[in-house]
Amino acid sequence: MKKQTIPQISEQIAAPLTAIASPQRIAILLAIGTGEACVCHLETALGWRQAYISQHLMALRKADILQDRREGRYVFYRLKHASLLDLITASARLSGLSAETVSALINTRVNPSCECPQCSPALISVESLKAA
């Protein structure tokens, strides 16, 4: 196997960094955290339009940062490598934030004002009973 040069290896290392290097993409990754999230959850968590979020989700999926799973009419996104959160935490510390500030955001799983299947399972089951 041919030995890779520093520029070649650097290009490969930069690919995931470039893919996540925007406040919007980092916000989406933090909102997904260690679990999984649908677009409607991200809409509530971030306060952005669905089309705008979807655009970033597509780019992150294309860059192999996210993987998705369909369940009924919902698509759930999760981080392909949870270690990306460590990278984000390390970057947060460079910006003067504490690791606790970041982990508190990551661990906020359920949002009371969110109506996604994970935050409001009861609501969704009532809805599916009506549909049946």
Q: Which residues of 32-47 are buried (b: 16+ CB within 10 A; e: fewer)?
A: bbebbbbbbbbbbbbe
Q: Closest CB to Zn ion among 7 and 47?
A: 47
Question: Is residue 46 a contact partner of residue 27, using CB atoms and an 8 Å limit?
Answer: yes
Q: Is residue 114 part of the contact set for Zn ion (CB under 5 A)?
A: yes
Q: Is residue 116 part of the contact set for Zn ion (CB under 5 A)?
A: yes
* Smallest separation (angstroms) from Zn ion to the CB of 124: 10
Q: Which two tokens stand for residue 100?
A: 């606790």
Residue 58 identity: M
Contacting Zn ion (CB under 5 A), which of 28, 31, 41, 57?
A: 41
Contacts of Zn ion in 81-110 (CB under 5 A): none
Q: Is residue 66 part of the contact set for Zn ion (CB under 5 A)?
A: no
